[in-house]
């Protein structure tokens, strides 16, 4: 994407971002306070349609430190926010996200009359309020050029330090590290590897982000010893919260930030 001068709205977003805590500073402050960061997974889907603006606003209102969203590329190369590669589960559309233009996607109902957000809208909402964790959906299908487009947008908005990018597709994270040393990066993992710290070293990630049920105290210790942070998901019930109080991750992503936020304080 060629660079261009920011318009007034983008300038104000950048100004707000420059006055805000970076996502790394949020992790450090939470560590110093001895509490995990609270992340709204897809916003606040317990109360609103997932990955919609109302869901992200609701997560911020619920006191989340971070919000998480899922990103794809439309057929005309726009970064759009939706979880699945297909449209059926969360919208009234059919087929694959990648086969529709952003304009076509924006005409769909993503629940309660909400539209599929453009990523830029979510970045602009988050800046100055919460850290934004952007999951790039590069698996099983891959979007050529997604990483470059994403970096160009974050740089244009001055949002590099307030955002993190995570993925199950570790080669994408490795590629992003080579392109931008300052961006916080995380690798997602569903299993319990023999040496999790090797995965963050190999990919250049800062954050190891496993399913909470694939964690144990030794894993957290190994990641911390390697200089990384641990962010677990989806922590939605008392068992998961109890486990997190035992293993002490740095961030907890939940589909129900109101309930889990209260349980974490209890």
Residues taking part in catalysis: 41, 83
Tokens 């209890």 belong to 266
Q: Cα–Cα distances in Å, from 196 out to 69, 138, 234? A: 24, 21, 19
Q: Which does 27 bind (CB under 5 to 8 A by kind): Ca ion, ligand G3P, none?
A: none
Examine residue 135 and tell whether it contacts Ca ion (CB under 5 A).
yes
Q: Which does 188 bind (CB under 5 to 8 A by kind): ligand G3P, Ca ion, none?
A: ligand G3P
d(CA 127, CA 120): 11
- Pick from 23, 44, 55, 70: which binds ligand G3P (CB under 6 A)? 70
> Which DSSP helix (H) or strand (E) runs through 224?
helix 217-225
- Pick from 135, 147, 189, 206: which binds ligand G3P (CB under 6 A)? 135
- To ligand G3P, the closest distance from the beta carbon of 136 in angstroms equals 10
**Within 13 A of 209's CA, how many CA atoms are on the CB side?**
31
Instruction: List phi, psi (to 5°) of 156.
Output: -60, -40
**Within 13 A of 104's CA, how many CA atoms are on the CB side?**
15
Cβ contacts of residue 67 below 8 Å, gap of 6+?
A: 39, 40, 43, 56, 59, 60, 122, 126, 130, 131, 132, 133
Minimum CB distance to ligand G3P smaller for 41 or for 115: 41
Residue in 149, 167, 185, 151 with CA at minimum distance from that of residue 70: 167
Show the site string, 38-77: x = touches Ca ion by CB under 5 A, - = not: --------------------------------x-------
* Number of residues binding to Ca ion, judged by CB under 5 A: 2
- To Ca ion, the closest distance from the beta carbon of 189 in angstroms equals 13
Examine residue 253 and tell whether it contacts ligand G3P (CB under 6 A).
yes
Extract long-range pairs of 214-217: CB within 8 Å, 24+ residues apart. Answer: 214/189, 214/190, 215/243, 215/247, 215/249, 216/192, 216/247, 217/246, 217/247, 217/248
Minimum CB distance to ligand G3P smaller for 41 or for 156: 41
- To ligand G3P, the closest distance from the beta carbon of 68 in angstroms equals 5
* Number of residues binding to ligand G3P, judged by CB under 6 A: 9
The interface with ligand G3P within residues 206-235 (CB under 6 A) comprises: 209, 233
Enumerate binding residues for ligand G3P (CB under 6 A).
Answer: 41, 68, 70, 83, 135, 188, 209, 233, 253
Positions that interact with Ca ion (CB under 5 A): 70, 135
């Amino acid at each position: 994407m060629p660079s261009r001068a920011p318009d007034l709205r983008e300038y104000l977003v950048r100004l707000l971002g420059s006055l805000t805590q970076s996502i790394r500073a949020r992790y450090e402050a939470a560590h110093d306070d001895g509490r995990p960061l609270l992340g709204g997974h897809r916003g606040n889907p317990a109360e609103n349609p997932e990955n919609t603006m109302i869901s992200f606003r609701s997560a911020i209102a619920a006191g989340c430190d971070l919000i998480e969203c899922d990103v794809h590329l439309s057929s005309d190369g726009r970064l759009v926010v939706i979880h699945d590669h297909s449209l059926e589960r969360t919208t009234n559309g059919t087929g694959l996200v990648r086969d529709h233009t952003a304009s076509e996607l924006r005409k769909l109902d993503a629940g309660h009359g909400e539209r599929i957000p453009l990523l830029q809208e979510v970045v602009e909402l988050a800046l100055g309020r919460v850290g934004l964790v952007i999951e790039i959906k590069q698996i099983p299908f891959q979007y050529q050029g997604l990483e470059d487009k994403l970096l160009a947008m974050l740089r244009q908005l001055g949002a590099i330090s307030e955002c993190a990018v995570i993925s199950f597709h570790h080669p994408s994270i490795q590629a992003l590290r080579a392109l931008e040393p300052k961006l916080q990066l995380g690798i997602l993992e569903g299993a319990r590897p023999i040496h999790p710290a090797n995965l963050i070293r190999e990919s250049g990630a800062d954050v190891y982000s496993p399913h909470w049920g694939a964690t144990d105290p030794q894993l957290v210790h190994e990641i911390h010893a390697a200089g990384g942070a641990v962010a677990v998901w989806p922590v939605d019930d008392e068992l998961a919260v109890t486990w997190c109080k035992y293993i002490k991750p740095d961030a907890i992503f939940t589909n129900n930030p109101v309930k889990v936020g209260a349980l974490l304080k209890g």
